[in-house]
């Protein structure tokens, strides 16, 4: 019993002619991305992941939008299905938290999985983890993982709290002003591992305590 508003947009072209219809279509696509909660990134599986697809996926991740990757025209993949699927996933490894769906619009194959996954991603996009559960997970991490160092000193996480949903946003108090990117990726990966957050780019805010 859920109602969704679906907006079909044109792709984002890398080079646009001045005053072209492509330019207008790209602006409308960007506007739709700003307004949406969840984006279906539709890729022609028979052609592979193009530069434009990478650009859109990166933009969605930066904007912290829910993401579902729809690999359309899967009926045209005649052999080595698992190999092709893995190659497509590897090209979009920076959004590996997203579901990857193999579908065929022409043959109406697996189309039902799109709406099932929209519901899953929407639920996680609105999920709030209790402060108690987050900090219990933090205790487990501190006992089982080697700390990452910055300037020869280990980064210590003192406290973590979720402050927002849509997107799930966490404030993390540490013993340093700034943390390196690999530490941020490490924390995100652990949050995905422990709490799943399927299809949701996580927003982390680090503060010194």
CATH number for domain 21-125, candidates 3.40.50.300, 3.90.1170.50, 3.30.200.20, 3.40.1010.10:
3.40.50.300
Q: What is the mean pLDDT of residues 118-128?
A: 97
In this prediction, residue 178 carries a pLDDT of 86
Same fold, 21-125 and 131-208: no
Q: Would the pLDDT of 31 be above 70?
A: yes
Q: What is the DSSP string of 61-130?
A: HHTT-EEEEEEE-GGG--S-HHHHHHHHHHHTGGGTTS-EEE-BTTTTBSTHHHHHHHHHHHHHHT----
- Res. 12: pLDDT tops 70: no
Domain limits, the chain: 21-125, 131-208
Q: In which element (H, E) is residue 22 found?
A: helix 21-35
Taking the model in full, what pTM does it have? 0.88
111 has a pLDDT exceeding 90: yes
The reported pLDDT for the residue numbered 69 is: 98
Residue-level pLDDT at 11: 63
Q: What percent of the chain has pLDDT over 70?
A: 92
- List the structure tokens of 158: 């003192």
CATH 3.30.300.20 correct for 131-208: yes
User: What share of the chain in percent tops pLDDT 90?
Assistant: 65
Residue 25 pLDDT grade (very low, low, confident, very high; cuts 50, 70, 90): low
């Amino acid at each position: 019993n859920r109602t969704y508003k679906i907006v079909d947009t044109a792709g984002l072209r890398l080079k646009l002619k001045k005053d072209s219809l492509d330019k207008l279509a790209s602006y409308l696509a960007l506007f739709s991305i700003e307004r949406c909660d969840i984006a279906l990134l539709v890729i022609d599986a028979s052609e592979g992941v193009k530069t434009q697809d990478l650009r859109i996926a990166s933009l969605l991740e930066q904007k912290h939008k829910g993401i579902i990757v729809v690999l359309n025209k899967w009926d045209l993949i005649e052999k080595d299905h698992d190999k092709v699927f893995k190659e497509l996933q590897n090209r979009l490894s920076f959004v590996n938290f997203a579901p990857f769906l193999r579908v065929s619009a022409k043959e109406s194959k697996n189309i039902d999985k799109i709406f099932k996954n929209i519901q899953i991603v929407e639920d996680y996009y609105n999920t709030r983890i209790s402060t108690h559960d987050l900090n219990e997970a933090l205790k487990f991490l501190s006992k089982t993982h080697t700390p990452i160092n910055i300037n020869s000193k280990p980064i210590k996480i003192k406290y973590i709290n979720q402050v927002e949903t849509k997107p799930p946003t966490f404030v993390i108090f540490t013993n340093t002003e700034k943390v390196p990117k690999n530490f941020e990726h490490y924390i995100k990966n652990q949050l995905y591992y422990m709490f799943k957050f399927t299809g949701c780019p996580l927003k982390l805010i680090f503060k010194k305590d």
